[in-house]
Amino acid sequence: MSTASAYLTVRGIGIDVVYKDIKNLHIGVYPPLGRVRVAAPTRLDDDQVRLAVVQRLPWIKRQREQLRAAPRQTEREMITGESHYVWGMRRRLKVVERPGRAHLELEGERLVLYVPTGAVSDKRRELLDGWYREQLRHALPDLIATWEHRLDVSVPKWTIRRMKTKWGSCNRESRHLWFNVELAKKHPDCLEYIVVHEMTHYFERNHSERFTKQMDAHMPDWRIRRDLLNGAPLGAEEWPDGG
């Protein structure tokens, strides 16, 4: 089956289009942000796809609004009793004010933050962000090494950063991978899914049928992992949308 892809903008909404040897046009709106994807017959051109999207705009907007209304965490105040997610598990935060080095520890089912007396919320959030990054720095090397071997590729550089619109990203030219710091809050299976997803972009730039087939071959349960990732509660400012 032959495929081609395009990226269109319709009334301010970005549309991923995949042209396939199919009979009918299909429009999908995907969590968590409401990414719009169109599978279109090869006989149609970009203008015809735009027209089809315009005709379905009311439905598309309703779907996006429903996704944006999904459960979300409020902004964390970093006080004792709050809940924070660590590797997919909800942890109760305990704040301990005392002299000495500020740091976080997991103690049983609690996440304990040790800070100097008077540390403000922004400083506490900064410490938590750094702790999440450290969790990923420990987890990612083994995962990447495992999948370098399985996919017979090398990852020369990877970076952790905060991203509002993606869980991960791949630069095919430099082979540089980026991972969203928020992944430290999700189940470990979700992190592995994003690692494989981004490394698969080494072989295929777009989310084409060839990309899907490679994901199916190397990680048959990737859709379950994707749904687990997209179904998890989102942070107050978090709008990731795949890789």
pLDDT (tens digit per residue) in 156-175: 999 999 987 789 999 999 99
pLDDT at 238: 40
Beta bridge partners of 179: 160, 168
Q: Which are the contacts of 28, defined by CB distance < 8 A and separation ≥ 6?
A: 36, 37, 38, 39
Place of tokens 């429903």: 66
- Residue among 134, 82, 76, 74 nearest 104 (CA): 134
pLDDT at 209: 82
pLDDT at 35: 83
pLDDT at 236: 44
Show the tokens assigned to 103: 């740091």
How far, in whole angstroms, is CA 218 from its chain's centroid?
Answer: 19
In CATH, the number for domain 83-231 is 3.30.2010.10
Write the Ramachandran bin of 36: left for phi over 0, alpha for psi from -120 to 50, otherwise beta.
beta
| Domain boundaries defined on the chain | 3-68, 83-231
In whole angstroms, what is the distance from residue 37 CA to residue 127 CA?
38
pLDDT at 197: 96
Contact 36, 49 (CB under 8 A): no
pLDDT at 3: 66
Q: What residue ranges of the chain have pLDDT lower than 70?
A: 1-3, 31-33, 69-76, 232-243
pLDDT (tens digit per residue) in 7-46: 888 988 889 898 988 989 999 887 666 889 899 999 999 9
- Residue among 37, 82, 14, 67 nearest 234 (CA): 67
- Count CA atoms closer than 13 A to 72's CA, side-chain side: 15
pTM tops 0.85: no
